[in-house]
Structure 1
Amino acid sequence: MSSRFILYVLGFCAAIVSLAQNLYVPLLPQLQHDLHTSFYLVNMTVSLFTISLAVMQIVLGPMIDYKGRRAVMLPGMIIYALASLGCSLASSVYMLLFFRVLQGIGAAAVPLVAATMIGDLFEGKVRAERMATYQMILGIAPALGPLIGGIIGSFAGYAGVFSFLSVMGIVMLVVAALVLPETKPAIMQGKGPGFRSFPQIFKNRTGAAVLLVGFILYYMFYGFIVFLPDVLTIHYRLDAKQIGLIFLLLMSFSFIGSKISGNVQGRMGSVNSLIFTCAIALLSLVLFIPAAGLSLIWLLVSLSFVGFTVGLTMSVPPTLLAEEFVEERATAIGVYNFVRYLGMAAAPMLGSLLYQRGGVLLLFGCTAFIMGVALLFAR
């Protein structure tokens, strides 16, 4: 089986499980009505999935290094498919919350194993290019998830959306079981779970820099996702459809950046690429702050640059970790995933305080300052 085909299988498996995060978001009002529950509990079905996804990264990482890649990924996909089916059959919000937690636990294994296996299968410039391709495929989920969920939900309701996830999970499980090899390096045979390697990852200079940069990058990206609709609504009077098109623009330029990222890393090396892409991210923030208030055209131009920067940067940290940590590869990537999920969670919480007090200037100005500190630390 060709390594490129394996890469696409890994990418689409990760994209399918990632769809569970936002596929049914357009149906939240219908879900609240049909299950006779509160707005708070409905939103908890989104939050608990993400929390489960984040916590399991640091649990599963050492297990993947110890037991092997397939031994963790395939059971995870089985749990995901069964939990998705449970979500479709849930008759109360509490049943749905239970199955969403289970769904997050199963989903957590897939992107973690996928990134680890790419690190196992490829080296050097090819690894950087393949990791960039993987990130580009993975980026399909947040871009198309709400659109697909809205289409399915329009005629099959939220139960149909979760049934779709279950069926797709089973399909990808069968494909993965038939196609994916075990890629655990021979050097690691017989070694126990690497829970003790957590301090080593934080003490390692490259590891510490990558974790800090990952947190800031995802804090920055989710800051745009959370607060951009408010800016577009209040300052430019755009409706929901127009805002959706602007997010499509953001994701499109992110795909372009992901496509180029592998070539950049191949030419500069992953370490220099981390510093370079952080500098570009800082520049995109500095340009967006004044452009957001000038006109809609300037906002769109600067936002396109932000999207390009996001795509350019996202594959660099996991590539660096795959190079730096061989025996603890899954553990290191799991810790990174956990930290970046913290960045996602911090964006709406901390960003709300800054945005309410100082708008775009204070919100993204502070983000730019923290990005500058991370850049200095990385250097």
Structure 2
Amino acid sequence: MRKTFLVYLVSIAAFFGPFTQTIYSPLLPELARRLQASQDAVNLTIAIYPIFFACMQLVYGPLMDRFGRRKLLLIGFMFYVCATIGAALSETVAQLILFRALQAMGVAAGSVAAITIIGDLFEGHKRGRSMGIYQMLVALGPGLGPVVGGIVGQHYGVDRLFWLLFACSLAFWLVLFIGLPETRTAHASGGQFRLRQMTAVLTHRIGLAIVVLGSVQYAVFYTLLVLLPNLLVDVYALTPSRIGWLFLPISVCIVIGSMIGGRVQEHVEAKKLLLLLASFNMMSVLLFVITASLSVPALATGLAIFGLSLGLSLPVQITILSNEMPNHRATATGVYNFFRYVWMTIGPIAGTFFYRFGYKIEFFVFVLIFIAVLFFMYYRFFGRMELSASDKSYS
């Protein structure tokens, strides 16, 4: 019971990251009027967030391996709480941009700490199920944020939204302070950090395959999210309200898939399962290309299948990564998250540029890239390879 409580505790800490990123996105026009700023400048307060969130993954990972999980999570989350006060008090868009960057720098500790602590607490099948809980709560964040922000902002304004976020995050920090023990194990690295610890993740036989898969999946996922409104307007001429509802299938199915994926690991060997689920995810992208222009229900079905396949594979990835790299678990998690969040940003930028050539061509190219990744994964997972020095140091 105690360990289950800790799983939900650290998963909620990770949930605050994506939740905060999108919480006031429905209020951007109102925010532009209140700050007397251009829409582009206000949009930057959203765009700046994932950049700092991604970079801090590389900072928190090694620090948590050296100094412990609890201390760094408490410091990072309190930094986020204080930055939220700054966001609530911001009177110019420049101030809000600054405090949004500081929010991201602080709350980034949550995602690294959650995966690492779950890895510390559990072994085998229980670790996989717990990773499913983590991924489920993280997947809720981006979808739930705009819902809460829209309701609170409509009735009380964007200022009180930030103050509500401050109150909730401060209360949660107190729960963390009281309820979270240190979980760093005796065999985990506590020595001086060296850059090769970080680069070794990318030369590790299994670690590199996981990083590459996660990066491609996030690039496809966020490209789809960004381009979907344009596609729905161009092909079906849908109104904004109807477009909003079509984000629901993918969000709900990611959550469902994450819950199931954590449990399926108990019955199938993890690497074989991940290769199967990644293949399913690739085929779902191809299905989307085929069905997107047939009808709105067919498109919604394609989105749901993509969300389900993505959700199924995510907890398996982080379980394998945690199993393979126990001595530098936080560093490995930080590198994995960094590349996912970087490609989460790069994917939509490239996708928006190439959209002019047609979305079908664009996502078919993603399918070809996905197929190459599957062959690469098979080679790294099951090919005959000598155990590299980095593999030995992480084992």
Q: TM-score w.r.t. structure 1 length?
A: 0.97
- Structure 2 letter corresponding to 1:361: K
Quote the residue 2:126 is aligned against: 126
Distance 1:58 1:372 in 2: 29
Shift of 1:158: 1.6
RMSD: 1.3
Quote the residue 1:38 is aligned against: 38
Distance 1:156 1:87 in 2: 16
- Structure 1 letter corresponding to 2:371: G
Distance 1:348 1:189 in 2: 36
Quote the residue 1:235 is aligned against: 235
Q: Structure 1 residues 190 and 198, CA, compared in 2 at 3 Å: closer, same or farther?
A: closer
Distance 1:276 1:153 in 2: 43
Secondary structure of the structure 1 residue equivalent to 2:184: coil
Distance 2:35 2:296 in 1: 40
Distance 1:276 1:194 in 2: 35
Determine if contact 1:16/1:165 at 8 Å carries over to the other structure: no
Distance 2:30 2:87 in 1: 15
- Structure 1 letter corresponding to 2:95: M
Map Cα deviations across residues 236-260 of structure 1 (whole Å, 9 max, x no partner): 1221221221111211111211111
Distance 1:186 1:263 in 2: 28
Aligned 1:67-82 pairs, distance under 5 A: 67-82=67-82
Shift of 1:135: 0.5
Distance 1:158 1:232 in 2: 29
Quote the residue 2:286 is aligned against: 286
Aligned 1:239-254 pairs, distance under 5 A: 239-254=239-254
Aligned 1:139-154 pairs, distance under 5 A: 139-154=139-154
Is 1:340 the counterpart of 2:336? The answer is no
Shift of 1:266: 1.9
- Structure 2 letter corresponding to 1:158: V
Quote the residue 2:360 is aligned against: 361
Distance 1:147 1:189 in 2: 41
Distance 2:194 2:170 in 1: 30
Identity of aligned residues (%): 36
Map Cα deviations across residues 226-282 of structure 1 (whole Å, 9 max, x no partner): 111111122112212212211112111112111110222222222112211110011
Shift of 1:190: 4.3
Map Cα deviations across residues 154-174 of structure 1 (whole Å, 9 max, x no partner): 122221121122111101101
Quote the residue 1:370 is aligned against: 369
Shift of 1:189: 6.2
What stretches of structure 2 of length at least 5 have no aligned partner? 379-395
Quote the residue 2:51 is aligned against: 51
Distance 1:17 1:183 in 2: 22
Secondary structure of the structure 1 residue equivalent to 2:191: coil
Secondary structure of the structure 2 residue equivalent to 1:326: coil
- Structure 1 letter corresponding to 2:81: A
Determine if contact 1:194/1:328 at 8 Å carries over to the other structure: no
Shift of 1:348: 1.5
Q: Structure 1 residues 278 and 351, CA, compared in 2 at 3 Å: closer, same or farther?
A: same
Secondary structure of the structure 1 residue equivalent to 2:247: helix
Map Cα deviations across residues 128-175 of structure 1 (whole Å, 9 max, x no partner): 111011100111111111010011111222211211221111011011
Distance 2:262 2:189 in 1: 31
Q: Structure 1 residues 194 and 110, CA, compared in 2 at 3 Å: closer, same or farther?
A: farther
Determine if contact 1:209/1:377 at 8 Å carries over to the other structure: yes
Determine if contact 1:62/1:195 at 8 Å carries over to the other structure: no
Indicate the larger mover: 75-84 or 189-198.
189-198
Distance 2:187 2:218 in 1: 33
Indicate the larger mover: 7-16 or 173-182.
7-16
Is 1:326 the counterpart of 2:320? The answer is no
What stretches of structure 1 of length at least 5 have no aligned partner? none
Distance 1:194 1:71 in 2: 20
Shift of 1:194: 4.7
Distance 1:139 1:238 in 2: 26
Shift of 1:225: 0.6
Distance 1:360 1:264 in 2: 33
Shift of 1:53: 0.5
Determine if contact 1:222/1:344 at 8 Å carries over to the other structure: yes
